[in-house]
Amino acid sequence: MKGGMIECSVCHSKLVSPTTKSFSRAYDRHKSRVSSKQRALNILLVVGDCVLVGLQPILVYTSKVDGKFKFSPISVNFLTEIAKVLFAVVMLCIQARNQKVGEKPLLSISSFVQAARNNVLLAVPALLYAINNYLKFIMQLYFNPATVKMLSNLKVLVIAVLLKIIMKRRFSIIQWEALALLLIGISVNQMRSLPEGTTALGLPVATGAYVYTLIFVTVPSLASVYNEYALKSQYDTSIYLQNLFLYGYGAIFNFLGILGTVIVKGPGSFDILQGHSKATMLLIANNAAQGILSSFFFKYADTILKKYSSTVATIFTGIASAALFGHTLTMNFMLGISIVFISMHQFFSPLSKVKDEQNGTVELLEARDNHRSKDSFINMTAGANEEASHRVGPDERQPLLPT
């Protein structure tokens, strides 16, 4: 490669080397031409995510006794990871039994070891998720369930910034404005949501709450972006095998957290089932289902779609917490919800789509469209190469001479 150009060793034609911006454009084009099956999958993912995410803060709230947790939150996270590992193992066995003749066996030692090496990056989001899952319980000590859900929506903006910086993902001005509206909606709901006159951890409650909020927003956002990158970078690997590694790492990190608690509080805290009830068992099942669903979002859909779908759960959480626990649906909450939904509609509107700087589109070969569902990640790379080739002038190309 010379001067940013790639020369074919056979025909000697020259192409512009694809940049991160080219890959981003190819991804935009890929998203705009998804199949009807992909749209149906996205709808199912969003509906399932709304139900599970909406139920989570309610289940956390019902598991509290006199405003406190009688169980160790780390034990809930550990049991959740174990449940997800068992699910991944069962699904792997089912997938292995349905393999066709000639396919590489999923459960062979060589395949497992090779996949483990290729997916070692999943340890990073697993650690971040372990930290985030603990913070979910801490946040419940400061805010009611509906407010926790609204605060978690701040992750959308942080994720957008991380995607822009790390993965060179492009967003239009209208989409950035939609994210700004999302922040406004969250701020409107957040007014006067903190209890007055109470303290925690030796800090005024407002200070402690907003410190935890900063960590609560940043850590899972980084985990989501990194998780999407790790899953899609090994696109040919079975998602259940990847989940097995991800949840296995998560179980290890949470078990280390339990050991740390034992060192601090003594051997009596090692009983991971201490203080659990039916509500916590439902919470564990909900968290496990939510984590499994999230992996499908990150591999087959989009991180932004995942986080925006979680905002839809806010209205469900607010209404349910009002009906079950007597929390008041204030005017601030109603206005905030309205602004959030306007933001979501604006972000995903066809008018907000990113337009290519040249000729208004990124050209892809029609022949590749027939294999989009099977080789979508490969097609994004192919689209980036082809988009770059259209930027080469006529004088820079050399014709292929007949032999």
C-alpha span between 107 and 115 (Å, rounded): 11
**In the Cβ-directed half-sphere of 5, how many Cα atoms lie within 13 Å?**
16
Instruction: Say what the pLDDT of residue 5 is.
Output: 55
Of the candidates 130, 79, 45, which has an alpha carbon nearest to the alpha carbon of residue 305? 45
Residue reference for tokens 């090779």: 114
Say which residues have a Cβ less than 8 Å from residue 73's Cβ, sequence separation at least 6.
133, 134, 136, 137, 138
Residue 168 has φ and ψ, to the nearest 5°, of: 55, 30
Residue 271 has φ and ψ, to the nearest 5°, of: -70, 100
C-alpha span between 52 and 321 (Å, rounded): 15
Q: Characterise 357 by phi-psi region: left (phi > 0), alpha (psi -120 to 50), beta (else).
A: alpha
Give the rounded distance of the alpha carbon of 360 from its chain centre.
30
Both structure tokens of 78 = 């550990």
Instruction: Say what the pLDDT of residue 389 is.
Output: 47
Task: Find the largest Cα–Cα distance for the chain.
Answer: 86
Residue type, 2: K
Of the candidates 321, 307, 304, 313, which has an alpha carbon nearest to the alpha carbon of residue 31? 304
Instruction: Say what the pLDDT of residue 32 is.
Output: 52
Instruction: Say what the pLDDT of residue 147 is.
Output: 64
- 281, burial (CB in 10 Å: exposed 0-12, middle 13-18, buried 19+): middle
C-alpha span between 15 and 218 (Å, rounded): 39
Helical axes 239-265 vs 73-97, angle rounded to 10°: 160
Say which residues have a Cβ less than 8 Å from residue 59's Cβ, sequence separation at least 6.
279, 282, 283, 286
Q: pLDDT tens digit string along 73-101? A: 788 888 999 999 999 999 999 998 888 87
Are 212 and 139 a contacting pair, CB within 8 Å?
yes
At residue 201's C-alpha, the angle toward residues 198 and 152, to 5°, is 80
Both structure tokens of 62 = 């019902």
Are 72 and 273 a contacting pair, CB within 8 Å?
no
Both structure tokens of 111 = 């395949």
C-alpha span between 300 and 296 (Å, rounded): 6
pLDDT beneath 50, residues of the chain: 9-10, 18, 20, 22-23, 26, 193-204, 357-403
Instruction: Say what the pLDDT of residue 316 is.
Output: 73
Are 261 and 199 a contacting pair, CB within 8 Å?
no
**In the Cβ-directed half-sphere of 348, how many Cα atoms lie within 13 Å?**
13
Cα-based distances in Å from 108 to 23, 104, 114, 120, 209: 34, 9, 10, 18, 48
Cα-based distances in Å from 89 to 77, 92, 283, 284: 18, 5, 21, 18
Instruction: Say what the pLDDT of residue 288 is.
Output: 93
- 3 state SS of 271: coil
Instruction: Say what the pLDDT of residue 391 is.
Output: 44
Q: Rg (Cα) of the chain, in Å, rounded?
A: 24
Other beta carbons within 10 angstroms of residue 91's beta carbon come to: 17
Say which residues have a Cβ less than 8 Å from residue 355's Cβ, sequence separation at least 6.
172, 361
